Amino acid sequence: GDSVTQMEGPVTLSEEAFLTINCTYTATGYPSLFWYVQYPGEGLQLLLKATKADDKGSNKGFEATYRKETTSFHLEKGSVQVSDSAVYFCALTDIFGNEKLTFGTGTRLTIIP
């Protein structure tokens, strides 16, 4: 079945550092790929998405490119802020009529000033 493998955490960075959180996937169909973020005590917020190969999703300075050849969707940000501290989840859905999201295990990110 479909699966998502995500970089183990926790990750601690200094403010203004460069961030990469690795995500690779296994899917039999044509998945859409997502990054969701969860702040303490809250639900999941959609951060960005990509629906086909070579698409780049971006939002709030975060970017991720759908790489079919390496089955990857790594999350990057050039300069992180303390407010980026949260748990980040990589996820996929099968594009054809199946709303089920398959999630990675999540990566806890802490940014220190």
Partner 1 sequence: KAGVTQTPRYLIKTRGQQVTLSCSPISGHRSVSWYQQTPGQGLQFLFEYFSETQRNKGNFPGRFSGRQFSNSRSEMNVSTLELGDSALYLCASSSTGLAGLTGTQYFGPGTRLTVL
Give the interface with partner 1 as residue ranges (CB under 8 A).
32, 34, 36, 42-46, 49, 51, 89, 91, 93-106
Give how far Cα 5 sits from Cα of 9, 23, 52, 75, 82, Å. 12, 6, 19, 13, 26
Q: Least distance to partner 1 from the beta carbon of 26, Å?
A: 16
Residue among 14, 45, 1 at smallest CA distance from 109: 14
Nearer to partner 1, 6 or 80 (CB): 6
Length of the chain: 113
Token readout for 56 is 């780049």
Q: Least distance to partner 1 from the beta carbon of 95, Å?
A: 6
Query: How far is it, in rounded angstroms, from Cα 60 to Cα 46?
Result: 11
Nearer to partner 1, 32 or 77 (CB): 32
Q: Least distance to partner 1 from the beta carbon of 67, Å?
A: 20
Q: Which residues pair with 1 in a beta bridge?
A: none
Q: Are 60 and 46 spatial neighbours (Cβ–Cβ below 8 Å)? A: no
Q: Least distance to partner 1 from the beta carbon of 79, Å?
A: 27
Nearer to partner 1, 66 or 80 (CB): 66
Nearer to partner 1, 80 or 90 (CB): 90
